[in-house]
Amino acid sequence: MSVQELGFDVAFGCIAGLRSGTPGGPKVLALHGWLDNAASFLPLAIQLPALDLVMLDLPGHGRSAHLGPGADYNLMVTVNAVLDVADALGWERFALLGHSMGAGIGSILAASVPERVERLVAIEALGALAEASDRTAQRLRDGIAAARALPSKKLRVFPDLAAPIRARMQANQLSEASARLLVERGVLAVDGGFVWSTDPRLTLPALQRMNEAQVRALIGAIECPVVFADPPQVYLPEPLRSERAALLPQGRLAVLPGTHHLHMEQPAAVAAAIGDFLG
């Protein structure tokens, strides 16, 4: 499989990415999960060679630029960055393939710019993380306190890639091969070894979240066809998962056995479930 390294100049800096597949094929933007990067989609890309697949490092992740000092990572920052990339590609209409956080971002994009999003595949999430409104003040307090404390923390330096690969394997139930893909694109070489390239601010608590009613209104506004492939996770358990899927005007739920990164660990099964839909 031929993979091309890409870079797109957007408002805050460069968005990096990878491109594979067939020029002129169905246009698909792939959006990875929290603290992952574009390499998350490489195993699946092998199974979907007919697509024109552009896999992004979202802001602050992988090889993409970090936001400037004082800026706050939020879903809208990422939504606008993805649209800037689509504009740079000259893609007026395209499909979205999202995993976890990327599926949440894809949900917001599909609801907010229906004239541009043809189809959405949401793996391991649908809509945004929701929270009760009475948690608003506490969330602000926690987020601001964590942000004020962050500058005093030092980045951990790994002497080689073995330790971060083990860490990703343990944290995400990943095989060594999948963990290595994410780590090799997700570290920087420094004196003494390697550090994570991810902006540490991405680990801070979000300052705001939608409530469940807002999330459900968002999902109900998705006008494009959707395939929602999702084994239940702690953040989206049953029956909430099925209730959200039922709100999709043109959606269907495909439940596949696997772990959180099933698109990396079972790429052939995932491709079989979504390939015809995207292509």
Per DSSP (E only), the strands in 72-220 are 94-99, 117-123, 187-190, 193-196
pTM: 0.96
pLDDT in tens, 126-160: 999 999 999 999 999 999 999 999 999 999 999 99
DSSP at 158: B
Contact in structure between 49 and 275 (CB atoms under 8 Å) = no
Residue 84 within a domain: yes
Residue 168 within a domain: no
Residue 97 within a domain: yes
Residue 188 within a domain: no
Residues marked as catalytic: 100
Residue 192 within a domain: no
For residue 22, the model assigns a pLDDT of: 97
pLDDT(76) > 90: no
Name the token pair of 227: 């395939």
Total domain count, the chain: 1
CA angle 62, 145, 171 (to 5 degrees): 40
Residue 127 within a domain: yes
Confidence of residue 248 (pLDDT cuts 50, 70, 90): very high
pLDDT in tens, 198-238: 999 999 999 999 999 999 999 999 999 998 776 777 888 88
Can you spell out the DSSP letters for 65-105?
PPPPTT----HHHHHHHHHHHHHHHT-SSEEEEEETHHHHH
Question: Please, which residues have CB within 8 angstroms of residue 253's CB and are 6 or more apart in sequence?
Answer: 228, 229, 230, 241, 242, 245
For residue 166, the model assigns a pLDDT of: 96
**How would you classify the pairing of strands 117-123 and 94-99?**
parallel
CATH number of the domain that residue 249 is part of: 3.40.50.1820
pLDDT in tens, 17-70: 999 999 999 999 999 999 999 999 999 999 999 999 999 999 999 999 999 998
What element of type H or E holds 215? helix 212-220
Omega of the bond leading into 239 within 30 degrees of 0 (cis): yes
For residue 54, the model assigns a pLDDT of: 98
For residue 213, the enclosing domain spans 3-154+207-278
Residue 194 within a domain: no
Residue 62 within a domain: yes
Contact in structure between 93 and 119 (CB atoms under 8 Å) = no
Name the token pair of 107: 């949900």
What type of residue sits at position 259?
T
Query: What's the rounded Cα separation, in Å, for the pair 186 and 48?
Result: 24
For residues 3-12, average pLDDT: 95
